[in-house]
Every structure is written in C-alpha cells, then in structure tokens.
Chain A
Amino acid sequence: MPAILFYIFSALTLAAAIGLVANRNAVASALSFFVCLCGISVLFVMLDAHLLAFLLILVYAGAVVALFLFIIMLLDMHGGKRPPFKKMTIVASSIAGALLIFGAFSFFARGQFSTDELALAQAPAFFTDLKIYGAKLFTTYMLPVQLVGFLLLVGMLGVIVISKKHEEKEPGDRIQEPGDKP
C-alpha cells in the first residue's frame, strides 16, 4: 500500500513540476508549484517527518506561493503569456538536465545505495515526537537558531530598504533602445 501511494504522489509531483516549467501562463505555473509542494509534503508524511510536512505547506504553499501570485499580479506581465522558445535553448537545456540525471544515476549505479539494505521498515522512526525537535533546537542547535533569527531580521530590513522608492533617477537606468543617443 505505501508503495502504491509513493508512486501516485511522486507521479503527481513530477507532473506538477513539469507543469511549472512548461506552462504558458505565469499564474498556472505558480499553481503547479503549489500542487508540487503538496505532493512533496505527502512524501514527507510518508517519511515520518510530520512537522516538516506541515511547515512545508504552511511556509511554502501558504506564504511563498501566495507571495509569488501577488508579485505576478503586481507586475502585470502582459497576461503572463510567454513567447515560444528558441530551438537551441530547448536542446541545450534538455542536454544539461539529462546530464544532471545521468550523473546522479551513474553515482547510484556504483552500488552506493542498495534497496534491500535500506528498506523503510528497518530504521525505527523515533523522531516523530515533537519534543525531540524542541530538545535538539534548544540544545545542540542553539547557535543556528539564533543565527537564523538574525538572518530573518536582516532579510526584513533588506526588503524594506530595497522596496523603498528612490526619487532620483540615475542616468542609464532605463533600457537603451538601439536608436537612442547614449
């Protein structure tokens, strides 16, 4: 039964990821990304990482995708339609992606991981309890927690500074058209 669920949800995730890349409409791409994240959070549940599945939905699907949709609405990119790709771009990108997959599979084929030894039932899932997360975060990972908090503060300040309106325009800010005088 878990095997069937894994295949269903991994197929859903892959289809949504392809939809994210291939969609003509930016809003449809963002919604495909949402579906992809939901599939990955189901896979997290199957890996006994319930807290992370919840956080993925909350942070990514709730905040990040909503932010993306908001920015797409704000920018108004001519209905979000894209021009067709150049053939050269498609070929080059496909070769690059295929090489990445090939490299990973050749790594797997060296026999680093064997499916028999690493069956799901063998390792006990002791960390489904939230208490262990709390204990780890406030003992071993105390300094990273502080640093991440500081990073969030810096990020917030950075967003405020970046999105402030600058009144003076510097020369050369605008896109130079071919006919323009420099």
Chain B
Amino acid sequence: MTIGLYHYLVLAVTLFAIGFFGVLLRKNTLIIYMCLELMLVAATLALVAFSRFNGTIEGNVFVFFILTVAAAEVAVGLAIVVALFRRRGTVDVAKLNALKN
C-alpha cells in the first residue's frame, strides 16, 4: 500500500487539532505558545505534502518563509512572555485578567 497525499493530510489535520486542543486546555502561557508552534508545523507539513504531490516547488519555498517568520515570532513572543512575567509575576492566563472589568 502506497502512502498518498491523504495520509499526510490526515496526519497534519490531527496534529493541528492536537495543538488547538492544547491551546484551549492549558493555562500556562509557554505551553500555549508551544501548542501554537505545533499548529504552525502541522500547517507546514500539509504544505510540503501538497507541494510534493503536485510536483511543484512553490509550497516548499513557502515553508521556507514560514520557518523564518516563525523564528522571528518566537523571539518576540517569548520576549513578551518574559516582560509579562516581570511585571505581573505570573504566566498563568487565568490570572492575567487585567482587561476583564
């Protein structure tokens, strides 16, 4: 049995759903951030699979750019988390409710 596009897409969708589940479930900002990264990587897996099965390189180049943007995004996001921890003393999203009232 050969592995087709369908298999890769199912895997990518499942990984994306697990990441989404983690974003909703967890309270720790860092874990939420890691789950966001997992969703991003799942999307890149789908892009690479589409690119491979269509015989074009465009998807791969797009993933190349996604990796670059993700690196910048992680740097800025983690700086924000550190700044948040310095000001509020917590990274628990349940306690970060300054905008609630």
Residues of A within 8 A of B (CB): 2-3, 6, 10, 13-14, 17-18, 20-21, 26, 29-30, 33, 36-37, 40, 43-44, 46-49, 51-52, 55-56, 59-60, 63-64, 67-68, 71-72, 74-75, 77, 82-83, 85, 89-90, 92-94, 96-98, 100-101, 104-105, 108, 113-116, 118-121, 123-127, 132-133, 136-137, 141, 144, 148, 151-152, 154-156, 158-159, 162-163, 172-175
Contacts and interface: CB of A to CB of B under 8 A. Distances in A.
Given A6-B7, A113-B5, A119-B2, A13 B15 contact: yes
B65 to A, nearest CB: 6
Contact of B20 (A36, A77, A100, A113): A100
Contacts, number: 237
Nearest to A33: B34
B37 A55 contact: no
Contact of B3 (A120, A132, A156): A120
Interface size bucket, B side?
35 or more
Interface of B: 1-11, 13-22, 24-28, 30-31, 33-35, 37-38, 41, 44-45, 48-49, 51-57, 60-61, 63-65, 67-76, 78-83, 85, 87-91, 95, 98
Which 10 pairs between the two chains have the least Cβ-Cβ distance?
A155-B72, A21-B22, A97-B21, A93-B24, A115-B4, A123-B55, A104-B13, A127-B57, A162-B79, A93-B25
21 contacts: A3-B1, A14-B14, A20-B38, A43-B8, A49-B48, A52-B67, A75-B30, A75-B82, A93-B24, A100-B20, A101-B13, A104-B10, A118-B5, A119-B2, A144-B65, A155-B73, A158-B76, A162-B76, A162-B83, A163-B82, A174-B87
A6 B49 CA distance: 13
Given A60-B41, A97-B21, A174-B88, A29 B31 contact: yes
Given A3-B3, A43-B45, A133-B57, A48 B38 contact: no
A121 B53 CA distance: 9
Contact of A175 (B8, B63, B95): B95
Given A56-B67, A126-B55, A141-B61, A3 B2 contact: yes
A51 B38 CA distance: 20
A120 B57 contact: no
A64 B71 contact: yes
